[in-house]
Chain A
């Protein structure tokens, strides 16, 4: 959800198929994981910086559908995993900055564990089935 592979066959330029059936299901829920992980370093970041971190850290393998990050951030704030404050962006524009909360850290630990288990399980099947 909100993530796509830049090389998905359905989006030659990664541009126009935010709803492509590909690259969606298997990444479901990972946006929360990635966002919280980026924020857990203790930094307070606006959405653009979060996007940039995810893209650079993944060496451009993960491309965030940038617009879809914001509903996720607002949902996470409603869930109490992040909180936001207003500040000024590098361009001196009013921007919302996000920080992870204690509850967000606990949630991150949970979903990180679930993710690792899931990946391990898939890896085992790939190796041994």
Chain B
């Protein structure tokens, strides 16, 4: 392959990559606007848009395959990032714990998220292009604060797991209730770390 062909191919690939990015961005942007219109906060709207979209990298990989373009062997060195914490509180449907309740029995209502600061990306995770999910478990106490945090699904023990835990410690909940009274309730919270 001549230098010129290689160079032209690279240009062509670059144009496609920009197209893919623009297309994905237009989509996410429209979803965020619709979410905002539906009454979500900016954070909720963004998290929901990413959650519904699924993996951006996977979609772009699929588009490259569809166009017969090679997959990048090395990820781009510069990425604008967004740590997106999907505020997914998965309620647990099993039995009652010793010092807390689980949603789904005994008339226990799930705690509701009041404020959900985002986790931070770490420089190392960014450099390694690490993306994915961290699932945590904690007990939401009657004052709306999380205690007894535990990592249920780890992504990056020294880095993003810690960041997720630090964020969750700052989350505030409307406590869960049983027969109308606030009670401690065990919840699962999943954080999605996405680079874009």
User: Which residues in A have some Cβ–Cβ distance to B below 8 Å?
Assistant: 12-13, 15-16, 18, 46-48, 51, 65-68, 70-72, 74-75, 77-78, 89-91, 93-96
Residue pair A93, B56 in contact (C-beta under 8 Å): no
In whole Å, how far is A21's beta carbon from the nearest beta carbon of chain B? 16
| Interface residue tally for chain B (C-beta within 8 Å) | 33
Task: Please name 26 pairs of A and B residues whose Cβ atoms are closer than 8 Å in the assembled complex, sorted by A.
Answer: A13-B90, A15-B52, A15-B190, A16-B133, A18-B58, A46-B30, A47-B26, A48-B31, A51-B27, A66-B31, A67-B58, A68-B59, A70-B24, A70-B62, A71-B59, A71-B63, A74-B66, A77-B66, A78-B66, A78-B68, A89-B26, A89-B29, A93-B26, A93-B29, A94-B22, A95-B27
The number of residue pairs between A and B whose CB atoms lie closer than 8 Å in the complex comes to 91
Which residues of B (20-70) have their CB < 8 Å from a CB of A?
A: 20, 22-27, 29-31, 33, 51-56, 58-59, 61-63, 65-68
- The answer to whether A12 and B19 have CB atoms under 8 Å apart is no
Interface pair B22/A95, CB less than 8 Å apart? yes
Is B86 an interface position by the 8 A CB rule? Answer: yes
Contact among B52, B62, B65 for A66, CB-based, below 8 A: B52
Query: What 4 A-B pairs have minimum CB-CB distances, sorted nearest first?
Result: A71-B62, A67-B59, A95-B26, A74-B66
Selected contact of A48 from candidates B22, B26, B61, CB within 8 Å: B26
Tell whether, in the assembled complex, residue A15 and residue B88 are in contact, meaning their CB atoms are under 8 Å apart: yes
Chain B: interface secondary structure?
A: helix
Question: How far is A60 from B192 in the complex, measured between Cα atoms in Å?
Answer: 24
Interface residues of B, Cβ cutoff 8 Å to A:
19-20, 22-27, 29-31, 33, 51-56, 58-59, 61-63, 65-68, 86, 88, 90, 133, 190, 192
Give bound CA distance, A89 to B25, whole Å: 11
Q: Which residues of A contact B86 (CB under 8 A)?
A: 15
Additional A-B contact list (5), CB under 8 Å, known A47-B23, A70-B59, A91-B26 = A15-B86, A68-B58, A72-B62, A78-B68, A91-B30
